[in-house]
Structure 1
Amino acid sequence: MVAHQDADGDIVLRRELLDDSALPDGDVDIHVEYSSVNFKDALAVTPKAGVARSYPLVPGIDVIGTVTASSSADFAVGDTVIAHGQDIGTGRHGGYAEKARYPADYLVKLSTISAADAAAIGTAGFTAALSVNAVRAHVDPADGPVLVTGATGGVGSISVDLLAGLGYEVVASTGKTAARDWLRDLGAAEVIDRIPGPEDKLRPLGKARWAAVVDCVGGTTLAYALSTMKYAGVAAISGLAGSSDLPATVHPFILRGVTLAGIDSVLLPIDKRRDTWTQIETELRPRNLARITRDVPVREVDTVLKAIVGGGVTGRTRVVVHDGF
């Protein structure tokens, strides 16, 4: 599936047959079995979003499959691998194709998790794992509730699942009333509306409520969450689904000792990336992937990309590349 930008600036995604000359430089060839849909994938095919470096481009920031050729001693034919981050799906061709090629230091070899489950987790679940690690580094379950904003999204839903599994009291924030029971099934102790609500005023400091916050919304949502943090709390932030602005003050940081932990899944060094996937295969393995995930063939991915920008996607969408064209 190749994204092209036309003379008017519009971006069109269409099925094409490319030869191997279109593959970027790299040490390892991959037969792609799965990819996924992330908010960033939608931005890569959104005009003027500033995510894609150039077109034509094969989107898909997650690439999961089997090694078919390798000049690296670290990977052998038949290995199951995942690649994400760096410039995959934004500056070089990504996962919405049957074949991919990357440098060895882009890849993580999977041991105990299937390609299908790794794709269901993908960048969103990886970001959730990093966020949960940031929470665990600062607060314990006994310290109080953890707020998860944008809780029905990929990062949010897996964060709810992981935090609840670790014993935290999770408060899930969402505007999707139909998803409230679903969030409780994932482990949320309480489900609330989007914050701030119509009756809430955005003050420099509000009533302290949260020991930690996992946020991928930004804007006034994050500002309000910060103003209502408990002393020595932590906010793990990873997105801007609501806004890239942060209309906050320094008061939570200098009067309550709040930590703002930025979560990056793009330029994280490969050794830390591999360590985190080892955690995902063991202690941070999501419990409810089947509840969170739905499948879409790659030929139909454009419909999901359009829906996710408007908040019309719940949980994770796994893109079936093998047999999906």
Structure 2
Amino acid sequence: MNTNFKALVVEETSDGTFQRSVRQWPIKKLPDHEVLINVKYSSLNYKDALSASGNKGVTKQYPHIPGIDAAGVVTESRDERFQEGDEVIVTSYDLGQNTPGGFGQFIRVPSDWIVPLPNKINLQESMLFGTAGLTAAIGIYQLQYHNIEPEDGPIVVSGATGGVGTMAVSILTTLGYEVVAVTGKKDQKTFLQDIGARAIIPREEVQDQSSKPLLSARWSGAIDTVGGVMLDTIIRQTQPHGVVSCCGNIAGHELHTNVYPFILRGVTLSGIDSGNCAMSLRKKLWNKLASSWKPKSLEKISRICSLDELNKEIDTILEGKQVGRVIVSLEN
């Protein structure tokens, strides 16, 4: 085995700025965890872009290799549950935050972070889902746990062209739900229709800043990836006994709302934490994503870039211009 591997490394300069470069990194600098994995594919998430731009709330120490998602092949293992040659997935936990992540050709991680690759899905397809797909799947699982069925009415998805939003629209459509997609990108109407959205509405329709405690009920459930005023509006527009699953804070981390949707309509607000999702549920949802929840037109949702092309994609997501999913190939 080579002693070095190719990685996107983020470094802090003497003047406090950060720079990214693709270069060789020593395997010996990886942490001493149980399993060494040769990464074949990763994917780009907003948290990766924050880490790659020096956000100390995500990554405390630099130099660092971001990448909260990784799919690859076990190279070495001190845990008998995993053998050399096993195909595996690692997402979330501390990967890519303070543990060297999937934007390098090797990772060494605790064995308790690892999901065996399910049948009916390959390594590349697993990274089309990645953390974004798992996050969307947890939200949809919560809708179903609270008995929200397709016949109960539409599901609204905010931030619908982003990673989690795209996955939510696609999976919900696959499961027979009517999806209302919310976006600020007017030029992406065709994309959203192609992945299954029945209706597309501008984000202004779900940014009500009035003091009305309740608004006209429009949907039986929601996957909110934005937060802030949009989440408050969605809650006030949810039908009686509806469920709102939330995972984002791009519009703000504060939520200013009132109790009436909860005590007069019985609305449930459910948070999504994919980072520390229990392994039992994680495996269950990965098996669903590989089978009955797997969208039919995966090629419409994603594009592939190399490690050398990743810098441009990071800038795109930071500018709020990413559409769909970006898979990162580390095979070269």
TM-score (norm 1): 0.95
Cα displacement string for residues 48-77 of structure 1 (whole angstroms, at most 9, x for unaligned residues)? 451112111100000111111112111111
Given candidates 269, 281, 291, the residue that maps to 2:278 is 269
Q: Please report how far the alpha carbon of residue 46 of structure 1 lies from its aligned counterpart in structure 2 after TM superposition.
A: 3.0
State the aligned residue count: 323
Mapped partners of 2:297, 2:60: distance in 1: 35
Q: Please report how far the alpha carbon of residue 156 of structure 1 lies from its aligned counterpart in structure 2 after TM superposition.
A: 0.6
Q: Please report how far the alpha carbon of residue 273 of structure 1 lies from its aligned counterpart in structure 2 after TM superposition.
A: 1.5
1:53 aligns with 2:60: yes
Distance 1:49 1:206, change over 3 A: farther
Instruction: Judge which range, 82-91 or 241-250, deviates more.
Output: 241-250
Could you tell me which residue of structure 2 aligns to residue 121 of structure 1? 129
What is the one-letter code of the residue matched to 1:300?
E
What is the one-letter code of the residue matched to 2:270?
A
Distance 1:5 1:204, change over 3 A: farther
Q: Tell me, which stretches of 5 or more residues in structure 2 are unaligned?
A: 1-7
CA contact (8 A) 2:307 2:328 kept: yes
CA contact (8 A) 1:79 1:109 kept: yes
1:65 aligns with 2:82: no
Instruction: Judge which range, 190-199 or 261-270, deviates more.
Output: 190-199
What is the one-letter code of the residue matched to 2:330?
V
Could you tell me which residue of structure 2 aligns to residue 291 of structure 1? 300
Could you tell me which residue of structure 2 aligns to residue 133 of structure 1? 141
SS of corresponding position for 1:8: coil
Mapped partners of 2:32, 2:263: distance in 1: 48
SS of corresponding position for 1:18: strand
TM-score (norm 2): 0.93
Cα displacement string for residues 151-208 of structure 1 (whole angstroms, at most 9, x for unaligned residues)? 0011111111111111111100111111111111111111111144688746321111
Distance 1:225 1:56, change over 3 A: same
Q: Tell me, which stretches of 5 or more residues in structure 1 are unaligned?
A: none
- Of all paired residues, the percent bearing the same amino acid is 38
Q: Please report how far the alpha carbon of residue 45 of structure 1 lies from its aligned counterpart in structure 2 after TM superposition.
A: 2.3
Could you tell me which residue of structure 2 aligns to residue 256 of structure 1? 265
Mapped partners of 1:174, 1:91: distance in 2: 32
What is the one-letter code of the residue matched to 1:130?
I
Could you tell me which residue of structure 2 aligns to residue 183 of structure 1? 192
1:203 aligns with 2:209: no
Q: Please report how far the alpha carbon of residue 9 of structure 1 lies from its aligned counterpart in structure 2 after TM superposition.
A: 2.8
Mapped partners of 1:220, 1:199: distance in 2: 7
Q: Please report how far the alpha carbon of residue 271 of structure 1 lies from its aligned counterpart in structure 2 after TM superposition.
A: 2.4
CA contact (8 A) 2:42 2:327 kept: yes
* C-alpha RMSD over aligned residues: 1.6
Could you tell me which residue of structure 1 aligns to residue 331 of structure 2? 322
